Structure 1
């Protein structure tokens, strides 16, 4: 007795609903609904728990009293110059996508899959309008490069959401002042930032920021990200803590003497593991910029959290992974998905230069322009440029 092949459109609604419940991103839901009519009507369009961009209150007056620190006048700057203090402050969302052609369209002469990174932000004026954003900063790219396609049909490519970033900015300025950690807990959506070394928390819909009371780290916090449904923050000495929805503090890594010498730290989630990147910089006076000191990256050290031991352990290799350190977010990708690229490196940007590649194998730093394979990660492939 032969069993005929079932049509995709004939799958029972209960099974489609089970599949749809596991779709976590707008991209996944859109592609699911595009398969056929029955699939489209089996699940509603993706709905963000939080509608962005949205207005949030300013951080506070120029001098904000934080009693638990015992400091009468802790300086917490406004998010911008004085003449803009009454301007609307927006919480905005940006998404980093990975695009690659279907396997069938890849040339047989190529032994590797290849892909392209795309960072987009939805426009404030027109729903559905997208803007191209700098891969490692929140700045919008305008005008678009001549090689950039006018239209991208996402159904012609495999599309994955790699990361999301959230920033606070003035509605009439194209720059941000603070990287934001956002929790989309449906019961209590909130955000957390680091300002003047202090962690500040805001429940969306409320009108007042709250300084987190932590007498151990006090003024030394350097980064905060959402992690496993909570906020994760690290201070300049490597002490790392988690905050739940009640802002209860749980220490997951104690102070580490080997982490006391870097200039600043970034937290990165990579393949479900928590990494810490410690950045070492050199300082020099810039004669072309009014004598202001500039910072150049000298080296990076990467650590992985050993949660059962409550400590950071230094990694000698990232293996296949490539880390991207941005002003508004950090993320990782597998080198296997980018033809010719090697893993075990960090791609970043200095404030006064373009992209650079730091190689963990030998500690070398070089501009990404010297490595065509890495530069192509940010350029539309020929098949897409013709769209």
Structure 2
């Protein structure tokens, strides 16, 4: 069979191809090919989620409205190979950025590791992004429950919220699924992981969270992996959750690590657990209003990395990550290839502690505070938004 031009594809195949795309960026790319491709699929599902979404507060007695906000982590790379962010960077290296869309077409930018908001300047305008000057790849999404919407955003009821986002005390992490351009809001469900290791569940439209009562109520992390919710408990046992019954099905054997906290990370299609060691015991207790009553934050002193061999059902200790780096943020965890990024080094774990960013080196097991050039992203942004 000879080669066929993209423009000669049968028109009935275009909707099938378009609706197999999982990210909004890919949908935009598909629709930008030509007019026939653009008309073959809509920009998004007619009833797709419009963030922020209203969800129930963890405490049934709480009156403030609660919203689910979503940020998307992107990798931006210059299209011009002769342009570099700095004299020491490779010509094809890019940067990471978290983007939150409040009103349609209005973007707020956040640091990918610290989640601090990046304010506007003469060279950095978060309301504009010229996709013609850069290659953009969506890496992951992060969600958070907040009392109010971000500045200037509009709720489902049409009211503008001028207050800043205020995270809910006691909530450790929130994950949502399904989450694609073809998702209907009525299909969306979230799991809320609390600081004391308990889980809550809600579907869009529910008036309150449903506690997930299981034999082991203390969980350290939750992730969406291969289209399913997975959790890891304090013993390092990974289980997947049946959303219809809220029952857990054990997916892995216990992890023989002796760390005090487990983190889940997906990398290259494989599931990893990062076993985190502290110099003391973690103690967290929540009252009925989800306020932290006892909160001891010992210092991080190291990590061990384990990969789940799903075929043999066993944990493999990884002594090196090669050119990969793992990042543990307060709203999501992710893996990146450092060959494509400026400011990241391979075989490292980047993590937050006491609102500062630290780097753990797997080779010499050292921990250092991260020092980054203050103007690196501003330089990249100025290049990618040139007219």
Q: TM-score, normalised by structure 1?
A: 0.79
| 1:343 matches 2:346 | yes
Q: Distance in 2 between matches of 1:340 and 1:132?
A: 18
SS of residue paired to 1:308: coil
1:305: how far off? 1.2
- Where does the alignment leave 5 or more consecutive residues of structure 2 unmatched? 149-162, 282-294
The SS at the match of 1:13 is coil
Greater gyration radius: 1
Query: SS of 1:55's equivalent?
Result: strand
Distance 1:36 1:183 in 2: 31
RMSD over aligned CA atoms reads 3.0
Q: 93, 113, 118: which is aligned to 2:97?
A: 118
Cα distance between partner residues in 1 of 2:366 and 2:200? 37
1:138, 1:176 within 8 Å by CA — same for their partners in 2?
A: no
Counterpart of 1:190 in structure 2 is 189
Shift in alpha-carbon separation, 1:15–1:277, aligned structure 2, 3 A = same
1:264 aligned partner: 261
Is 1:316 equivalent to 2:328 in the alignment?
no
Change (3 A) 1:61 1:9: closer
- 1:99 CA drift (Å): 0.8
Task: For residue 5 of structure 1, report the CA deviation from its aligned partner.
Answer: 8.9
Corresponding residue for 1:167? 144
Q: Residue 349 of structure 1 aligns to a residue in which SS?
A: strand
Which structure carries more helix by proportion? Answer: 1
Change (3 A) 1:121 1:26: same
Distance 1:197 1:244 in 2: 18
Q: Does 1:32 align with 2:37?
A: no
The alpha carbon displacement at 1:132 in A equals 0.9
> More deviation in 271-280 or 205-214?
205-214
TM-score by length of 2: 0.79
Please list, as runs of the form range in 1=range in 2, the aligned pairs for 1:56-95 lying within 5 A after superposition. 56-61=55-60, 85-95=62-72
Distance 1:311 1:201, change over 3 A: farther
Equivalent residue, structure 2, for 1:214? 214
Shift in CA distance, 111/352, structure 1 to aligned 2, threshold 3 Å: closer
TM alignment of 1:187-336, pairs within 5 A: 188-195=187-194, 196-215=196-215, 217-218=216-217, 220-246=218-244, 247-258=246-257, 261-282=258-279, 295-336=298-339
Per the alignment, residue 174 of structure 2 pairs with: 180
Cα 1:341–1:211 shift into 2, 3 Å: closer
Of 112-121 and 132-141, deviating more is 132-141
Residue pair 1:140, 1:174 contacting (<8 A) in 2 also: no
> Aligned partners of 2:239, 2:348: CA distance in 1, in Å?
27
Counterpart Cα distance in 1 of 2:255 and 2:343: 37
Give CA deviations for 1:166-210 in whole Å, capped at 9, x if unaligned: 110111442323321112176842111222321211122121322
Closer, same or farther in 2 for the Cα pair 1:376/1:333, shift >3 Å?
farther
Contact 2:260 2:278 (8 Å CA) reproduced: yes
Q: Which one of 48, 73, 76 corresponds to residue 96 of structure 1? A: 73
* Alpha-carbon spacing, 1:293–1:194, altered in 2? closer, same or farther (3 Å): closer
Q: 1:282 to 1:210 in 2, by over 3 A?
A: same
